[in-house]
Chain A
Amino acid sequence: AQSVAQPEDQVNVAEGNPLTVKCTYSVSGNPYLFWYVQYPNRGLQFLLKYITGDNLVKGSYGFEAEFNKSQTSFHLKKPSALVSDSALYFCAVRDTGGGNKLTFGTGTQLKVEL
């Protein structure tokens, strides 16, 4: 079975500082990994994905994530946080070993303060 863990319910960071939102996964095959962001009372917006190739993936709004196979991690990062980045972030995985389902983590609330 596939699963995703986001160990932090909330991350607080000052504007201008780098941010990291953590994600680890478990799959039986190889993973397809995704990050989404959700603003209040809205659906999810796609940020970036890892399918294969370069371990460092660049996405929307200056976000990037690094796939680390040995640590089974896919942490989301941004060099300089903005107040407008404050939102709920979800990591998701799909197992290439079978199944059509995208499994989400429990989400991490990012709060960027002035």
Chain B
Amino acid sequence: GAVVSQHPSRVICKSGTSVKIECRSLDFQATTMFWYRQFPKQSLMLMATSNEGSKATYEQGVEKDKFLINHASLTLSTLTVASAHPEDSSFYICSARAGGAKNIQYFGAGTRLSVL
């Protein structure tokens, strides 16, 4: 299957710092990218959907000024957690899809964020 690379795999930071997570589709052009958050022993919660070159669409309850998403090219999307706080600690997973809704979403390996 297609490969989605997500970096870093783990981040430990102090409260108040900003953290950037990168998501790259290595062997396909991702017209749509998705960012999820997963709490322990729970399902994936969609945070936002982004199409290349346009603003991200955020799910209800997700602060767009807190979770900044940039989808600058067909192979790269970034999620920046602005001024992270301990409650932002979580497992963040990106996903990418080429083309339309019939196609498979491929997932990155996830980023474990721990805010002290």
Contacts and interface: CB of A to CB of B under 8 A. Distances in A.
Interface of A: 32, 34, 36, 41-46, 49, 51, 90, 94, 96, 100-102, 104-107
B61 interface: no
A1 B82 CA distance: 31
Given A41-B110, A44-B107, A90-B44, 18 more contacts: A32-B102, A36-B107, A42-B109, A43-B95, A43-B107, A44-B93, A46-B106, A51-B102, A90-B43, A96-B101, A100-B32, A100-B49, A102-B34, A104-B43, A104-B44, A105-B43, A107-B42, A107-B43
Interface of B: 1, 4, 6, 32, 34, 42-44, 46, 49, 91, 93, 95, 101-102, 104-110, 112
B93 A43 contact: yes
B59 to A, nearest CB: 8
Contacts of B43: 90, 104-107
A102 B96 CA distance: 12
A47 B107 CA distance: 12
A42 B104 contact: no
B104 A34 contact: yes
B105 A43 contact: no
